[in-house]
């Protein structure tokens, strides 16, 4: 349920509404917008229906919210959210261009790739320090050493960094080094992890699970939002299909659907979705055309020697071409790639 307050509602009136909601054993989430203030009611709405909330001074309207993802819904936040990642704005017409290797391998290679993607116009640097792999024998990442290498490379080229956190016990450690925390597809419904990353107040990149519905994805985002962290960016990275011609099935329709259900930004990851460098650029552009707020692309300067997912990485020159095409396409829709924050680097 959403309680919409009158434009002239006083702080005392707002506080009184919150007190009435909490007296019913429910939680109140206050959101102050440019034009109006709303209170999201979290909990069993049946307890509220009998209450004459509209009679409370300062209340303009009480709107039942049918979707279970109350805070992630458009009803809760009619204007598109813009997530600030250390100066890079995602949403509201500004696009994320996230690029880097699948895994952090060593400092020299990480810095070399960072310089190339930065020169191409990428605004957030990615790299995995903790790698949840299907096989227990595959490269699992460098751990904390990888976090330091990624952070240092980002600082050297003037880009915020995003990396995956896989364990609730590592959240604080990863948050110390990273500007944005990634929750991967395999952990999309790890609700303990979602709660912990929500408590950090760090921006979160939440990837859709391989078998998750759009509602599942938005409900996972709700876990993060319910902790008071509004800085969530969704990511469509492909769902499991039956055709082996691509690694996964890139569900571009889900991007358009999310735009009609939620205020949260959503980006596409054609690298994991397709696993094919020959079609990654086309799928990235298709994502932008359907309304995505950016792309997430794996880039490596020597894919054949990469320790993780080398076959799906773009070479730096190919990424440079793609970045230029994304800027051109975005301009047709009145959007632009957000600038990396530290332009003096």
Q: What is the pLDDT of residues 99-123, one digit of tens each?
A: 999 999 999 999 999 999 999 999 9
Kindly state whether residues 98 and 191 are assigned to the same domain. yes
Is 43 a domain residue? yes
pLDDT at position 344: 43
The domain total for the chain is 2
Kindly state whether residues 176 and 31 are assigned to the same domain. no
Kindly state whether residues 22 and 161 are assigned to the same domain. no
Kindly state whether residues 122 and 45 are assigned to the same domain. no
Is 77 a domain residue? no
Kindly state whether residues 170 and 264 are assigned to the same domain. yes
Contact between 47 and 24 under an 8 Å Cβ cutoff? The reply is yes
Kindly state whether residues 35 and 166 are assigned to the same domain. no
User: pLDDT category, 271, cuts 50, 70, 90?
Assistant: very high
Q: What separation in angstroms does the CA of 207 have from each of 99, 143, 165, 267?
A: 15, 20, 12, 9
Greater pLDDT, 179 or 53: 179
Kindly state whether residues 19 and 107 are assigned to the same domain. no
User: pLDDT category, 342, cuts 50, 70, 90?
Assistant: low
Which residues have a Cβ under 8 Å from the Cβ of 220 and sit 6 or more positions away? Answer: 183, 188, 189, 191, 194, 206, 209, 212
CA distance linking residue 181 with residue 158, whole number of Å: 18
Kindly state whether residues 102 and 15 are assigned to the same domain. no
User: pLDDT category, 71, cuts 50, 70, 90?
Assistant: very high
Kindly state whether residues 40 and 188 are assigned to the same domain. no
Q: What is the pLDDT of residues 186-196, one digit of tens each?
A: 999 999 999 99
Q: What CATH code is carried by the domain that includes residue 328?
A: 3.20.20.70
Is 203 a domain residue? yes
Q: What CATH code is carried by the domain that includes residue 49?
A: 3.30.70.1140
pLDDT at position 345: 43
Is 343 a domain residue? no
What is the average pLDDT across 199-217?
97
**Model-level pTM greater than 0.75?**
yes
Is 70 a domain residue? no
User: pLDDT category, 50, cuts 50, 70, 90?
Assistant: very low
Range of the domain at 13: 2-63
Is 107 a domain residue? yes
Is 74 a domain residue? no
Beta bridge partners of 234: 206, 266
Kindly state whether residues 177 and 311 are assigned to the same domain. yes
Tokens, residue 123: 């605004």
- DSSP-based three-state secondary structure for 328: helix
- The mean-pLDDT minimum among 67-81, 127-141, 179-193, 236-250 falls in 127-141
Kindly state whether residues 8 and 113 are assigned to the same domain. no
- DSSP-based three-state secondary structure for 209: coil
Kindly state whether residues 198 and 244 are assigned to the same domain. yes
Is 285 a domain residue? yes
Out of 17, 33, 63, a domain closes at 63
């Amino acid at each position: 349920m959403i309680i919409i307050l009158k434009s002239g509602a006083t702080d005392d009136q707002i506080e009184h509404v919150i007190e009435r909601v909490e007296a019913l054993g429910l939680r109140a989430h206050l959101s102050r917008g440019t034009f109006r203030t709303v209170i999201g009611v979290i909990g069993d709405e049946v307890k509220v229906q009998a209450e004459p909330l509209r009679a409370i001074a300062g209340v303009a309207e009480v709107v039942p919210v049918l979707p279970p993802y109350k805070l992630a819904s458009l009803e809760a936040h009619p204007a598109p959210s813009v997530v600030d990642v250390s100066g890079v704005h995602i949403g509201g017409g500004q696009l994320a261009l996230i690029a880097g290797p699948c895994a952090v391998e060593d400092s020299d290679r990480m810095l070399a790739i960072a310089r190339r993607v930065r020169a191409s116009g990428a605004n957030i640097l990615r790299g995995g320090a903790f790698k949840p792999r299907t096989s227990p024998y595959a490269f699992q990442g460098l751990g904390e050493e990888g976090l330091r290498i990624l952070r240092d490379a980002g600082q050297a080229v003037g880009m915020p960094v995003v990396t995956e956190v896989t364990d609730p016990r590592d959240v604080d450690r990863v948050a110390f080094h990273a500007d944005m925390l990634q929750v991967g597809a395999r952990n999309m419904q790890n609700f303990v992890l979602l709660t912990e990353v929500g408590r950090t107040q760090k921006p979160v990149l939440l990837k859709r699970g391989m078998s998750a519905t759009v509602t599942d994805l938005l409900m996972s985002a709700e876990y993060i939002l319910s902790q008071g962290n509004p800085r969530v960016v969704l990511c469509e990275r492909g769902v499991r299909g039956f055709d082996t011609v691509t690694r996964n099935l890139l569900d571009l329709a889900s991007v358009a659907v999310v735009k009609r259900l939620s205020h949260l930004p959503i980006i596409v990851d054609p690298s994991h979705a397709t696993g094919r460098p020959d079609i990654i650029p086309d799928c990235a552009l298709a994502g932008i055309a359907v309304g995505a707020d950016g792309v997430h692309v794996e880039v490596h300067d020597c894919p054949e020697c990469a320790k993780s997912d080398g076959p799906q990485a773009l070479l730096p020159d190919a990424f440079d071409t793609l970045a230029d095409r994304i800027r051109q396409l975005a301009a047709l829709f009145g959007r632009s790639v957000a600038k990396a924050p530290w332009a003096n680097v």
